[in-house]
Amino acid sequence: MPETKLNEEKRIEYFHSTPPLTVEQAKELIHEKMHLIDEEFKNGFDLVVKNPKSVTFFGSARFSEGNEYYEKARQLASKIVKETGYAIVSGGGPGIMEAANRGAKEADGVSVGYNIKLPREQMINPWITDTYEFHYFFVRKVMLTYSAETYIYFPGGFGTMDELFEILTLVETKKIPHVPIIMFGKEYWNPIIDLFRHVFLEKFETITNEDFNYFVVTDDMDEVVRIIKEAPLRKE
C-alpha cells in the first residue's frame, strides 16, 4: 500500500477514534492556552523593556560561518554595537541570527535571542547574553518586531519574506511608525525589488510608488549605521 494512502487511513482512524471535546473540556483547553499565551507575552515584553534601544536582524538560518552573508551580518552587528550601543536582537537560532548575535557579543554588546520550541528542537546559538524561549510563533514574532529602532533583512527564505512583508504591511497601514527597513545585499534583494516594480506596481497596480519609500537596499555598512543613528527612538 502506498505510504500516502496508509498515512491518510491512519489519520481518518485517529479522528474517528478520538471522541470530540465536551464544552467543559474545550473551555479548559482554551483557558490553558490563553494562560500560556499571556505568560509568553508578559515575559517577552519584560525582555523588550530591558533593551529599549535595539536593532533586529532577520535572514536565513541556513548560512554558516564562512558564508559571505554570515560574515557580513557578524561584522555589521559588531559595528552597530560599537558605534551606537544598541542591543542586537534576533530569533536566537543559527545562520544570520547566530551571526548577528555573535557580532554583538564579540563587541561586548547586548545580544538578545527570541528562541522558539520546535518538534525538531531549534538550538539556541551560543552567542546570546539574554533570551526567552517561546512556544507560539505569533508571540515570538511580536517580540521580534516590537519597538526596534531599525529592522535589517539579510538574504533568506520564506520565513524571512514573511517577516519582511509583516513589517512592510504594518508601516504601510500605519499600524506602526515609519521605522527604517533595511534590505542588506543588493545581489539578493534587487531582483525582488524588480518584481515589486514590474509585477506588483506596473502590471497589476497592487502597490504604489510611495511604497518604495518604506525600505532601503544597500551593501554599505556605514549607510546602515547612519540610518540607525538618525532614526527616532520608538515610543511603542
Distance CA 139, CA 105 (A): 25
Q: Which CATH number fits domain 3-230: 3.40.50.300, 3.40.190.80, 3.40.50.450, 3.30.930.10?
A: 3.40.50.450
What does DSSP say about strands 150-153 and 54-58: parallel, antiparallel, or unpaired? parallel
pTM of the model as a whole: 0.88
Q: Measure Cα distances from 20 to 10, 33, 111 in Å.
A: 17, 18, 45
Contact 79, 225 (CB under 8 A): yes
Residue-wise pLDDT for 94-152, tens only, equals 999 999 999 999 999 999 999 988 766 568 999 999 999 999 999 999 999 887 999 99
What does DSSP say about strands 111-116 and 87-90: parallel, antiparallel, or unpaired? parallel
**Whole-number CA gyration radius for the chain:** 20
pLDDT score, position 122:
66
- How many other CB atoms sit within 10 Å of the CB of residue 176? 16
pLDDT score, position 13:
59
Domain ranges in the chain are: 3-230
Q: List the beta strands (DSSP E) in the chain.
A: 54-58, 87-90, 111-116, 130-134, 150-153, 181-184, 216-218
Mean pLDDT (10-residue bins), the chain, 236 residues? 54 60 85 93 93 95 97 98 97 96 98 85 87 92 89 97 95 92 98 98 97 98 97 74
pLDDT score, position 29:
87
Residue keyed to cell 474545550: 26
132 contact partners, CB below 8 Å, separation of at least 6? 43, 44, 47, 114, 115, 143
pLDDT score, position 1:
45
